């Protein structure tokens, strides 16, 4: 694990070993976790309808069983740390579903900036789905698609153009 606490962000090398294989996320969207701090928190566990997320105790790092995950996105919406995402290979493109708490929300088919963990622009993508939540303790969900496989390990936020 890199010195993420000093830097304030994870690197691809920190998450790649536990990332699901493309075979798995070609079947349906699958949740991935970048939750690395051992703090008392577990809404991801209690929100999961298939019990795909487990923790040894309330302060442990959550573990996702990729075989049990059905890609519903509930854990992504409830995570207060914005540490969960869905990844999916959809025919000829890749998709990531992100928790989003900014306004304005983008619209379906908008082109948006793809941002890495440091907020740097690393490309553009097309918005495929927007789920706006009414409860203000939850995050809205934005699904963006792009062509480059490598971006699925890097894109962790979006920037609305002219927003
Ligand atoms: S996406 Fe749904 S099924 Fe998968 S881990 Fe999250 S809550 Fe569970
Ligand atoms: S809800 Fe989010 S921050 Fe809390 S344990 Fe789960 S993944 Fe980590």
* pLDDT tens-place string over residues 28-47: 999 999 999 899 999 999 99
Measure 162 CA to ligand 2 centroid, in angstroms. Answer: 32
Domain boundaries along the sequence of the chain? 4-160
> Which among 122, 118, 117, 105 is positioned nearest to 161, based on CA atoms?
105
Question: Residue 64: nearest ligand to its CA?
Answer: 1
Measure 74 CA to ligand 1 centroid, in angstroms. Answer: 6
pLDDT at 1: 63
pLDDT at 163: 60
pLDDT tens readout for residues 62-98? 999 999 999 999 999 999 999 999 999 999 999 999 9
Distance (Å) of CA 12 to CA 34, 92, 141, 151, 152: 10, 23, 22, 10, 10
Average pLDDT for the chain: 94
Question: Residue 75: nearest ligand to its CA?
Answer: 1
pLDDT tens readout for residues 97-148? 999 999 899 999 999 999 999 999 999 999 999 999 877 778 999 999 999 9
Any atom of ligand 1 within 6 Å of the Cβ of 31: yes
Any atom of ligand 1 within 6 Å of the Cβ of 73: yes
Ligand 2 pocket mutation pick from 15, 32, 40, 43 by most atoms within 8 angstroms of CB: 43
Full-model pTM: 0.94
């Amino acid at each position: 694990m890199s010195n993420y606490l000093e830097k304030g962000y994870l690197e691809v090398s920190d998450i790649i070993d536990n990332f699901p294989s493309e075979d798995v996320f070609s079947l349906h969207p699958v949740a991935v976790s970048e939750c690395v701090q051992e703090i008392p928190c577990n809404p991801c566990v209690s929100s999961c309808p298939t019990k795909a997320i487990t923790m040894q105790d309330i302060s442990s790092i959550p573990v996702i069983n990729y075989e049990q995950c059905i890609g519903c996105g509930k854990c992504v919406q409830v995570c207060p740390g914005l540490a969960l995402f869905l990844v999916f290979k959809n025919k000829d493109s890749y998709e990531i579903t992100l928790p989003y708490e900014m306004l304005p929300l983008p619209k379906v088919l908008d082109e948006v900036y793809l941002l890495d963990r440091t907020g740097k622009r690393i490309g553009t993508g097309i918005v495929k789905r927007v789920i706006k939540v009414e409860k203000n303790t939850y995050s809205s969900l934005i699904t963006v698609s792009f062509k480059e496989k490598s971006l699925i390990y890097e894109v962790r936020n979006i920037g609305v153009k002219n927003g």
